[in-house]
Amino acid sequence: MPETTPWALALGQMALLVALGPLVTGLIQKLKARLQCRSGAGLLQPYSDLAKLFRKGSVRADTATSLFGAVPVLVLAATLSAAALVPVVYVAPQGSDGAVVPLGDAILLLGWLALGRFLTAAGALDAGGAFGGMGASREMTVATLVEPVLIVVAFSVAVAAGTTDLAGIVAHHTQGRHIFGAPDLLALFAMLVLLLAETGRIPVDNPDTHLELTMLHEGMLLEHSGPGLGCLVLAHHTKQIVVIALVQALFLPPMASSLSPRALAVAFLGFAGLTVVLALFLALIEASYAKLRFFRLPQFLGIGFVSAFLAAALRLL
Amino acid sequence: MTPELAARLIDAIGAFLLFTMIHILAASQLYRAIYVVAAQSVFIALAGAVLGAATDNLDLWIIAIVTLLVKAILLPWLLFGVVRRIRIHREIVSVIPITVTLAIAGVIVVVAFHLSSSLGSVTQAITGNALPVGISLTLMGVLVMMSRRTALVQMIGLFASENGIFFTAMAVSQGMPLIIEIGVILDVILGALVMGVLVLRVRSSIDSDIADLDRLRG
């Protein structure tokens, strides 16, 4: 294998995730609309929204510092770095020369996501708007509930694979050495609960609202406009598909271990199929549940916490 | 069905049982708790059927079917009837906050694993995690009974606890004899009926729930 190939592969998979991110958002919104007997916007609506945002000029609050202008770019950069760490369709067979993505492991990925979250909140606080402050405070509260559980889930899978490297975990799965048992099921359940929180969807957050006190993510974006807002929205689309890809990498990786076009096509179809299934899950939950009251959230996310804890206990004890 | 496949299936069902149990612990609405405990009973019946298929034991099949009919259909129906009759508000009132209950559940899991490893050489019919899972299910059911104020939810805790005991019995001894299992199920039905009548009577005579009956007056 030539020297440059791993990097090209990592960047290629990252580009794939970024390109497909808005489509997944569009798909979820379309499915949700159909479930609610509306016709809904087209699948490509998020792309149009992004194009519109990047064409616009931007305004800035008088109170904002120079950090405010840098935040969208930094958030997007952090999220893209996270996207580069997830194997999507291809993973090198283990033992050849380590990971195909020689960049970092699951812990670094979660770290990038946390950094993106922190920067978004910092930007919201910097602008000084009341909604932004509220949104940031709530988002950080949710973060303290979500991130430890994500780490526990990642560890419970990593213990079985013997590595925190995502490529190693995937290789462990695809080579059939992994027996899918009770710990995996529980970790998967925990991950599905977290998926709702991480993608900012009902019952944790309502992605459709801009002007309510209940909003978390949208509240933090209120002060941003134009290309800056575009960066943040794109970062959110990307984060969503990164978490979806992470679920697949940890539990059900349909990945190719050779570079033949046929294997890659099969792997891509598997990825697309599982993504549609997860999108349907998100849309179903969103169409059939109401948003939880904020102080009920620890109770809801507690389900994820105990499940993840049980998964780790089953694996370790 | 090979014993190996059966062990893996039982293991997976154990995960589903634990997940439903966490849902019962976290539920803040009565209806949801009842639905979840019904789902849990379906999984218990499935586990019985799997074990029955693996061991060619007709008794286990009968127990699975009786469990399905009684615990997954009859008892939830009874509970819904009581809920409708007394028109209580649907929120579950707990003695300690539900988040604390969930944290205690985490402790229970560790205790259960410690217990089952200190039991040492118990001959397990199913290898793997079935025994600690069964123990933690039972204890979590008791936790539900302890931490909720209303009699109905305590009943749900009782059913969940009974499911846990059933699972433990399967893990240790491939299920109890048919006659004992039938007796247990009859007891559960009787308990549900008595509890239902008690709840209705208490409500109609003093308009409160059993949590308020904590003082003796002479």
pLDDT in tens, A90-124: 776 655 444 454 677 889 999 999 999 999 999 99
The verdict on a CB contact (< 8 Å) between B19 and A181 is no
Averaged pLDDT for residues A36-61: 92
* Peptide linkage before A203 cis (omega within 30 of 0): yes
Separation between Cα atoms, residue A237 and residue A67, nearest integer Å: 23
**B25:A182 CB<8 A:** no
- Does B17 reach chain A within 8 Å, measured CB to CB? no
pLDDT band at A64 (very low <50, low <70, confident <90, very high): confident
Q: Is A179 on the interface with B (CB under 8 A)?
A: yes
Chain B residues closer than 8 Å to A306 by CB: 22, 25-26, 102, 105-106, 109
CB-nearest to A305 from B15, B102, B117 is B102
Which residues, at least 6 apart from B152, have a Cβ–Cβ distance to it below 8 Å? B30, B79, B82, B83, B88, B195, B199
Task: For residue A298, list chain B residues with Cβ-Cβ distance below 8 A.
Answer: 99
**Which residue of chain B comes nearest to A179, CA vs CA?**
B8
Mutation target vs A (from B8, B19, B104; most A CBs, 10 A cutoff): B19
**Residue A38 phi, psi dihedral angles, 5° rounding:** -110, 160
- Does the pLDDT value for residue A290 go beyond 90? no
Of residues A128, A101, A119, A139, the one with CA closest to residue A245: A101
Residues A199 and A282: beta-carbon distance below 8 Å? yes
Give pLDDT tens digits for B131-148: 888 889 999 999 999 998
Tell me the chain A residues in contact with residue B24 when contact means C-beta distances shorter than 8 Å: none
For residues A252 and A166, give the distance between their C-alpha atoms in angstroms, rounded to a whole number: 12
Average pLDDT of span A57-86: 91
How many residues are recorded in chain A?
A: 317
| CB-based burial, A7-46: b 16+ in 10 Å, e otherwise | eebbeebbebbbebbbbbbbbbbbbbeeeeeeebeebeeb
Binary contact (B12, A185; C-beta < 8 A): yes
Predicted complex ipTM = 0.85
Calpha distance A68→A61 (Å, rounded)? 9
Question: Which DSSP helix (H) or strand (E) runs through B185?
Answer: helix B178-206
Q: For A295, which DSSP code?
A: G
For residue B92, the 8-state DSSP code is P
- Alpha-helical (H) ranges within chain A are 5-35, 45-55, 66-85, 106-127, 130-161, 166-174, 182-198, 217-221, 226-251, 261-288, 297-316
Measure B109 CA to nearest chain A CA, in Å: 7
Q: What is the pLDDT of residue A212?
A: 67
Phi, psi of A99 (to 5 degrees): -80, 150
Best CA proximity match to A64, nearest among A126, A121, A122 = A126
Interface A–B counts its CB contacts (< 8 A) at 70
Selected for mutation to probe chain A from B99, B101, B107, B148 (highest A CB count within 10 Å) is B99
Asked whether A300 and A193 are in contact (CB, 8 A), the reply is: yes
Q: CB-based contact (8 Å) between A182 and chain B?
A: yes
Q: Do A306 and B12 touch (CB under 8 A)?
A: no
What is the predicted pLDDT for the residue at B210? 65
Q: Locate tokens 């369709």: which residue?
A: A89
Touching check for B117 and chain A: CB below 8 Å?
yes
Lowest mean pLDDT among A178-182, A235-239, A294-298: A178-182
Q: How far is CA A52 from CA A69, A76, A210, A225, A268, in A?
A: 19, 18, 18, 11, 30
Q: Do B102 and A306 touch (CB under 8 A)?
A: yes
Q: Which chain A residue has its CA at the smallest distance from B12's CA?
A: A182
CA nearest to B10 within chain A: A182
Q: Rounded to whole angstroms, how far apart are CA atoms B36 and B67?
A: 15
Q: What is the SS3 assignment for B49?
A: helix
Q: With contact defined as beta carbons under 8 Å apart, do A65 and A126 qualify? A: yes
Question: What's the pLDDT band for A144 if we cut at 50, 70, 90?
Answer: very high
User: Rounded to whole angstroms, how far apart are CA atoms A90 and A265?
Assistant: 10
Q: Does A290 touch chain B (CB under 8 A)?
A: no
B22 in contact with A, Cβ within 8 Å: yes
Q: What is the pLDDT of residue A251?
A: 87
Residue A156 contacts B, CB cutoff 8 Å = no
Spatial distance between the Cα atoms of B218 and B210, rounded to a whole number of angstroms: 18
Structural tokens at position B68? 């399905």
Contact B15/A305, CB-based, under 8 Å? no
Mean pLDDT of A125-151: 90
How close A185 comes to chain B (CA, Å)?
A: 6
pTM: 0.88
Parts of chain B with a pLDDT under 50: none
In which band, very low, low, confident or very high, does the pLDDT at A2 lie, cut at 50, 70 and 90? very low
* Cβ–Cβ below 8 Å for A299 and B102: yes
Contact check, Cβ <8 Å, B15/A300 = no
